[in-house]
Amino acid sequence: MPTTLSGGEYEVFQYQLNIDHYTTRLASLPGGDWPAELAQYKTTPSDQLPDTLTDAQVQTISDFQYRDRLRILLRTEKIEQGKARRILAALKVHIPANQYDTAIADAVARREAAVQAAGGGTIIRG
C-alpha cells in the first residue's frame, strides 16, 4: 500500500508539473478570440495553408492553434490530476495519519534502491 501511495503522490506531482508548464506557455501566446479573417484556419495544418497568406498571418495562425492545443492539454491534466487526487485520498484512509510520512518515505527509499540497483538514476520527488 505505501508504494501505491508514493506512486500516487508522484503522479499528482507530475500532473502539477505539466499544469505549471502549460500555464507558463499559455502566458506567452495570444489570448482572446481568433482574428475573424483567420478563424477559418483553426484546424488547417500549416502545410495546407494558402500561399496567399503572409508570414505574419501564418505565424498568428500557428500561435492560435498552439494556444488552443495547450488549453485542451491543460484542461486534461487538471481533470486527470483531480482523479489521481481522489484515488490517493481513498488510499490514504488505510494508513494511520501518524504513520503516513514514514510509510511514504520507506516506499520511496525502496523504489529508489530498486532503480539504482537496475542501473537507473535518482527518482525526482515532489
User: What are 21-65's pLDDT values in tens digits?
Assistant: 999 999 999 999 999 999 999 999 999 999 999 999 999 999 999
What sign results for the dihedral spanned by CA atoms 98, 102, 105, 110? negative
Q: What is the pTM of this model?
A: 0.73
User: Which among 90, 85, 124, 86 has a CA at the least distance from the CA of 108?
Assistant: 124
Within 10 Å of residue 8's Cβ, how many Cβ atoms? 19
- 64-119 confidence digits (pLDDT tens): 999 999 999 999 999 999 999 999 888 888 777 777 778 777 777 777 888 888 88
Angle between helices 55-92 and 2-27 (to 10 degrees): 160
CB-CB contact of 87 with 39 (8 Å): no
